[in-house]
Structure 1
Amino acid sequence: MGKSTLLSLLSGLLEPEHGSILFYGQKLNQKSCNAIGYMLQHDHLFEWRTIEKNILLGLEIQNKLTPETKGTALNMLKTYGLYKFKDARPSQLSGGMRQRAALIRTLVLKPEILLLDEPFSALDYQTRLTVGDDIGAIIKKEGKTAILVTHDLSEAVSLGSRVLVLSKRPATIQTVVDINFPDNISALERRNSSEFKDYFNKIWKELNENE
């Protein structure tokens, strides 16, 4: 089992061959799957739709588009700095702005859990740092639980509260590392803290022992 299989199981796209996945103590079903948001590596914004219409797409598909939910979506565009681009096409936005738009598209559906499949991997390094900081702040502000899959140790430490290190395929949980930073510091500030290196080295050691 690899990371893509793991996320597909958690989102209900695949059923486990053995065991069960529980959501609030109940076996994963269609209702609980609707409470799970899935953000992929690429933003998958449609060029023929404006940013506003891209944001509203999930609401349209789930027949949840109402004046109230549309108002919520527009307020999120304002809150996260994209409102003035609501009539723009995806190609007119930077990679970081597109990822923010993709996250808002997911959040307007009010998921209880977010699955993030290497959402920053297509960005250049500098943009990746900034967008990771932005999206981490948005998730914290919205009070969401997120499961982030990444191969970037620095990203895992700077954004996570708990890091699960997976073994080689078939993947099992090799170790769990709890990450503790002050609540009031950003992902970028975490990278500059004295504890960051210790967490990084601990996880690096676990990975090397798995070779």
Structure 2
Amino acid sequence: MDHAGDGMDLFFTPDTCALASLIVCYDAGLDITLTPISFAKGAQKDEAYLAVNPKARVPALRFGPDILTETPAILAYLAQIAPEAALAPSDPMEFAQAQSFNAYLCSTVHVAHAHRMRGSRWVDGEAHLEALRRKVPQSVAHAFTYIEEHALRGPFVLGERYSICDPYLFTLANWMEGDGVDPAQFPRITAHRNQMAQRATVRRALAVEAEVRAALA
């Protein structure tokens, strides 16, 4: 299957939100080159990678001279270059609602999670860092409570239809235990997570992630 996106590079680090982009690449049937970036070795701060993404974060998606960063933008782009995969709504309002959900994951859920290990982005001093870490279970649970009660419309985020929202939610929901949050508090999100884990593209992405993790160790 030919796509405008064939031959693109996805810069990827295991156990990060880049997993969502990898899953959607597979959902879209795109031919990608996966470029591992080792955070443990500080590769995100190497000059070569900073030329790709000066933010020193993943994911980044490169196709020819063009580079995209930020997961919501990457997921929307992947859906648009593979319209036959039907990964995003065609209706403008429904697409905006999908983007609203993904923006919430990016700006609220992920930020609450990041307070656990990257608090120095926001505060200085060990006492303040520890205060942020102590708050993580509460703030992450609060964010997922909103999703559980208001944003998850059905078996998939947008209802009966799978979309770019689902791999993103799956990726971040897998961090709950590490953030000190019991998934049992969120039966609908847990059911979504379990359902997603059975999808062929998700299993493929998780297997590739495990291979990259082992190679970078």
* Richer in strand (by share): 1
Higher relative contact order (CA 8 A, sep 6+): 2
TM bucket, shorter chain: 0.3 to 0.5
TM-score, reference length from structure 2: 0.33
TM-score, reference length from structure 1: 0.34
* Richer in helix (by share): 2
Larger radius of gyration: 1
